Structure formats: structure tokens, C-alpha cells
Amino acid sequence: MTQATAEAQPNIALIKYWGKRDVERNLPAVDSLSVTLRSLRTRMSVEFSAESGIDQLQVNDAQAPALLRRVSTCLDTVCGRDRPAARVVSDSNFPIGAGLASSAAAFAALVVAADAASGHARDCITLARLAGRASGSAARSLYGGIVALRNSAANIDVKQIATPEEWPLEVVIAVTEEGAKPLGSGDAMIRSAATSPFYASWLSAQGTDFDTARTAVRNRDFASLAAVSEHNCLKMHSVMWTSRPAVVYWTRATLACMETIRKLQGDGVPVFFTIDAGPQVKAVCLPEAAEAVNSALAETAGVLRTLPSGLGPGARVLAET
């Protein structure tokens, strides 16, 4: 096969990855735990052809020269530097580069498509490690449901720890800006490691947060997962804020969404927030609360639209039609 199409869903970390222990190999400094979404998706089609000479990338119907280098490097990692040139076409049903984990979905899908197109058929953990080289969070999108990523010796281990059926959490994303973020997470986390006075304590407490979240998932203990996830998110943003220059992704709308979620919690609604490298707020809730959470966020000042989603599958090759 010289052509293949794969689909991957973005994932949202509840216990965050922020910081690299090896910049060259893009290995994370900390363990992380995430949920893979269902409704948001990126499709990536890769076609190798000896004739074209140079790699080409099309993202959502437009040429994307700025993103091409990262894509070419990822293809080299999967297929070797002596591979034929590739034509890559990517299509997402949500805003990209805006803190909605678009790179996680994109690189997970790219690695799976490139592997199939080059006839390798590697196993899931090998593909996850290859995706992690391009974007640390992409390794988690190889798996569905609730996913744990742990550092192990010279590499990472990634595992599904609950299927979507075992704990059908719902996520409502409050989109507050559609545009691309000013600073990519890769550069921002290198800056944090070099300059934030809080970085060392962020690293040292991550194991405890990860274990608490892991136990909460095992026991389906929503209140405990909520408490540790919000705490972990706020710590990550404290590290960002205290970097020099400061890395601040929040806007007025981000804070308004947090206030909405605090109010829902005050009314006894099982929901919590998490925020990544962007101004969007992700609300995680139990299924019975999804409608109330969605309408409260949709009515919040500065929210452009909401994207509700259950938990979904890991990255996979799509059958050709």
C-alpha cells in the first residue's frame, strides 16, 4: 500500500503534561492522564509517491507551508529519511492551533496513516511512541477512553485505563476564540522549565496527583477526580504565569467560564474544569449533567459556541471507500 487514511480524536489531559525531560527526543518530564474525545476528529491521508519530489501538505482545503516541516520530520521518524515524498491531506471538524489539542489528533492520525501507507503495521504502543516524538500529547490519542501516559526508563508507556463504556464521562468545550494561539506549547514549556520558580515543585508533586487521579478512575470517584484535576490544571497555569516572559493563555471569557462552573458546582452539579495552552475551557461532567453544563456555558459571556462530546476511540486506519 502507498496510500492510507487514518482518523484520530483529540484528547484532553486531566493530569497535565508540561515540561520535557529530553527536548531532542521530546520525552515528557511528567506522567499525564487524559480523556480521548468522540465528536471532534482529524482525518489524515498520506500518499507516498516517488515522482513528486517534495512533501506537500494541505490542511482543511488550503496549503499549509508553515506546518510542513513538522509533518515531514514526523514522516521521517515513521518511514525513515530515505522515504519517497508524501502528499498529506488533513481535515478537522474543529478549530486547529487554538488549544483544542489539534496537534494531538493530527500527529496521532499522521503516524497511523503513514505507518499503514508504508506497509509497516506496527503495534499501538510503538505508534504511540512515534506520535509522542512529534507532539507529547499525541501519544495519548492512540488510545480511547481514559488514558495514562507514564515515563518508563528511556521511553514512555501509554495505556487505556478505562473504556468509554466503563466510565462514560462527558466533556463540554467552551470555545472562546477560534484563532491560533500566540505561542505554541512546545516552546512555552521549555521557557517554563528554564524560568519559572515553581517548575521544580510542579515536577515533584506530579506523581501524587497522577496516583490520586488513577485511583479516582479505578473507583469511579468523580469528586476526587474533579478536585485533583482542577488543582493540577491551576498548578500548570501557575507555572506558565510565573515563566519569564509570562505565558498567559487565559482571557476574560476563560475566567467567566470558570465562574460558571464554580456556580454549577455550588448547585451540586457534578462538573469540573480544565484548561490547556489556549483560552478555551473544557468542562468534564457526569452524563446526567451534560445538558445543564452545555446550556450554562453556552450562555456565558464571551463563549462563541460549545462543543459537547462523549469519550471516544483511539486513532485508527479508515477503510477506503
137 binds ligand PMV (CB under 6 A): yes
- Cα angle 306, 64, 92; round to 5: 30
Cα 139 from Cα 133, distance rounded (Å): 8
What size, in residues, is the chain? 321
Among 42, 90, 103, 141, binds ligand PMV (CB under 6 A): 103
Q: Does 92 bind ligand PMV (CB under 6 A)?
A: no
What are the E-state strand segments in the chain? 3-8, 11-15, 20-22, 27-28, 32-36, 42-49, 56-59, 62-63, 85-92, 146-152, 155-162, 170-175, 271-274, 281-285, 305-309, 316-318
SS3 209: helix
> Least distance (Å) from ligand PMV to the CB of residue 122?
20
Calculated CA dihedral for residues 317, 319, 320, 321, nearest 10 degrees: -140
Does residue 273 bind ligand PMV (CB under 6 A)? no
Least distance to ligand PMV from the beta carbon of 31, Å? 10
Residue 188 or 289: which CB sits closer to ligand PMV? 188
| 157 secondary structure, DSSP code | E
Nearer to ligand PMV, 18 or 202 (CB): 18
Is 185 one of the binding residues for ligand PMV (CB under 6 A)? yes
For residue 308, cis peptide bond before it (omega within 30 degrees of 0): no
For ligand PMV, the closer CB: 185 or 294: 185
**Beta strands 62-63; 20-22: pairing state:** unpaired
In the complex, least distance from residue 267 CB atom to ligand PMV, rounded to whole angstroms: 29
Contact flag: residue 279 with ligand PMV (CB under 6 A): no
Q: How many contiguous H segments (helices) and E segments (strands) does the chain have? A: 8, 16
Q: Applying CB under 6 A, which part among 111-119, 130-138, 298-306, 311-319 lies near ligand PMV?
A: 130-138
What would the x/- binding string for ligand PMV be over residues 139 to 168, using CB under 6 A?
Answer: ------------------------------
User: How many Å apart are CA 151 and CA 156, to the nearest integer?
Assistant: 4
Residues 6-45 that bind ligand PMV (CB under 6 A): 13, 16-18, 32
**Quick one: 168 or 186, whose CB is closer to ligand PMV?**
186
Which residues contribute to the site for ligand PMV (CB under 6 A)?
13, 16-18, 32, 103, 135-137, 185-186, 276-277
